[in-house]
Structure 1
Amino acid sequence: MKILVIGPSWVGDMMMSQSLYRTLKARYPQAIIDVMAPAWCRPLLSRMPEVNEAIPMPLGHGALEIGERRRLGHSLREKRYDRAWVLPNSFKSALIPFFANIPHRTGWRGEMRYGLLNDARVLDKDAWPLMVERYVALAYDKGVMRTAKDLPQPLLWPQLQVSEGEKSLMCSDFSLSSERPLIGFCPGAEFGPAKRWPHYHYAELAKQLINEGYQVVLFGSAKDHEAGNEILAALNNEQQAWCRNLAGGNPAGTGRHPDSRL
């Protein structure tokens, strides 16, 4: 079975979407899964062993451009996908699988996508409170999983595949210690402070983890750097030695961005 997934446009949602890919692979071991997503997702998708190919989405997040979506859909017809999963809820995100003539198109109903999706699910937010559960539910036939409690446990959580060589290079490039296991925080949010966990909660979690023997690294874009500094400022000097703010730059002139290694 050949599968096309229209992936999300946000890094957190893209990470969570791996739970769907892992579940699909567990259910259909011979499935070939391709994911269409923004080009910046390629380093992330390349570390998901379930994904066969990352197909760049050339259109911006807010662009409708029906003509271009029709062209993209037609260009995918030669791949002869059997099924499509559409993870974003927008009308436009369902257009490409429709134009690609993919026979079975699954997703939450979202923005009135009758016809574009022929396996549209109606979302009960109380029954499915977590995004990762909503993604995993789509791996099962309609009506089989009525609430999150029906999902097989434990869920197949995101699990990136990173080589030991990549880990060593990351530590070398960004002056990280190999003495302690590393935990990454992504404290930013696209739409500002109202959409993100308060910095003092991140700081409390960082303190607890550092005291338990971990080191903490803060990832993000340049606009997340200030949020990272707020977290650092809430730590004492000893704790700050085990917390690095790598959001928004290439420390020490490495020429590499830390998020590219994840």
Structure 2
Amino acid sequence: MTEPLLRRLHARGERITVGALPWVAPAYRAMPQVDAVIEFPFRHGGLQWRERRALARQIEGGFDTAYVLPNSLKSALLPFLASIPRRVGYLGEARVGLLTHRLKNPKDKPPMVAFYSALSGEPGLEHDRPQLALPAEQVDEVLRAQGLERGGYVVMAPGAEYGPAKRWPHFGALAQRIAQPVVLLGSGKEADLCEAIALQAPGRTRNLAGKTSLLEAFALIAGAGNVVSNDSGLMHVAAAFGVPQVALFGSSSPLHTPPLNDRAQVVWLKQDPDYLPPLDCAPCFQRECPLGHFRCLNDVSAQRVHALL
């Protein structure tokens, strides 16, 4: 979702270095507008002052502008410690003194692509769409290694890092209905979840969760005939490659994080006038259903999703 911002900056002549955690750094290396990637040696939790100060000394004097995309205090620390003259970001977490150019956070949750692109200071944000591309030979090499043909398989991404309230529970039932090979993608933490799905449709379902690099997962998505996913990072990857996809929303909202893809079909019971009683609780943006019924995803049938493939 940050790719359109980087494309805007590149188009106006800025040379871009992205600082990212190791697990997401490969995504930026796949973007041609990015000149370099610095992998952050940081962990979740704590300011890790010593590590940030050490990295700040290494990069000091090397940059004119820092665009701080996360809204956290610690994400704004590194550009401040590195004395980068112009530091652009949204107000949040008492970081007024750390930023030199501050945008107010919108009252309502806007689409995240436009939220990030606004840091460029340019108009026309409503037209921004993420774009990814891999060389055809790179995609073909990955498919050959897996014994797959372009367009001849379906990718499922049943995980969602945020929590259970974003995970549709009927992927296994859907896999049983699909005649094509099914490839399950996700992180190592989602391997057991994917294995449980694979066991429901043995023979033609392949669990690759935790067994691919991020770029290999990108290639498998780029070559797929269709992608079915929750509202997750891999959903946005599929959208950026422009492949046919079905995106399932529960506790979150496609008004906030939509798959920006003309070939995407969104399933969200909140917007279904025939679904009764209406989902007045959605979107709650909670990690787990606060009401305990999980209707927003439980009531989306495998049959309904299969009809969209």
TM-score with structure 1 setting the length: 0.70
In the alignment, structure 1 residue 45 sits paired with structure 2 residue 28: yes
Equivalent residue in structure 2 for 1:151, among 113, 125, 131: 125
Report sequence identity in percent.
Answer: 37
Q: Which of 184, 199, 202 is matched with 2:169 structurally? A: 199
Contact 2:89 2:103 (8 Å CA) reproduced: yes
SS of aligned partner of 1:78: coil
Could you tell me which runs of 5 or more consecutive residues in structure 1 were left unpaired when the two chains were aligned. Answer: 1-15, 145-149, 250-256
Alignment match, 2:232: none
The C-alpha deviation readout for 1:94-133, integer Å capped at 9, x for no partner, is 011111111111111121110101112121241x422222
**Equivalent residue of 1:101, what SS?**
coil
Asked if 2 retains the 8 angstrom alpha-carbon contact of 1:73 and 1:97, the reply is yes
Q: Which amino acid aligns with 1:85?
A: Y
Match status 1:218 vs 2:203: no
- Of the three residues 138, 141, 165, the one matched with 2:119 is 138
Q: Matched residues in 1 for 2:153 and 2:82: separation?
A: 42
Cα deviations by residue, 1:152-186 (Å, 9 ceiling, x for unpaired) = 42x131x22311221121112222223x2666443
C-alpha separation in 2, matches of 1:169 and 1:33: 29
4+ residue runs of structure 1 moved beyond 3 angstroms? 181-186, 201-204, 214-217, 229-235
Counterpart position of 1:173? 145
Query: What is the distance in 2 between the residues matched to 1:107 and 1:259?
Result: 28
CA distance in 1, matches of 2:144, 2:162: 33
Over aligned residue pairs, what C-alpha RMSD do you find? 2.9
Structure 1 counterpart of 2:158, from 176, 184, 187: 187
Contact 1:199 1:230 in 2 (8 A): no
Structure 2 residue 110 is matched with structure 1 residue 129: yes
Paired residues of 1:219 and 1:259 also in contact (CA < 8 A): no
CA offsets 1:33-67 (integer angstroms, 9 cap, x no match): 00011123332221110111010101112231223
Is 1:31 the counterpart of 2:14 in the alignment?
yes
Q: Is 1:163 the counterpart of 2:144 in the alignment?
A: no
| Offset from partner CA, 1:66-109 (integer Å, 9 cap, x none) | 23312211211231x11111111110110111111111111111
What is residue 259 of structure 1 aligned with on the other side? 214
Counterpart of 2:39 in structure 1 is 56
Deviation of residue 201 (structure 1)? 7.1
What is the identity, as a one-letter code, of the residue corresponding to 1:220? G
2:4 maps to what in 1? 19
1:248 partnered with 2:210: yes
Q: 1:171 to 1:192 in 2, by over 3 A?
A: same
Count matched residues. Answer: 217
TM-score by length of 2: 0.61
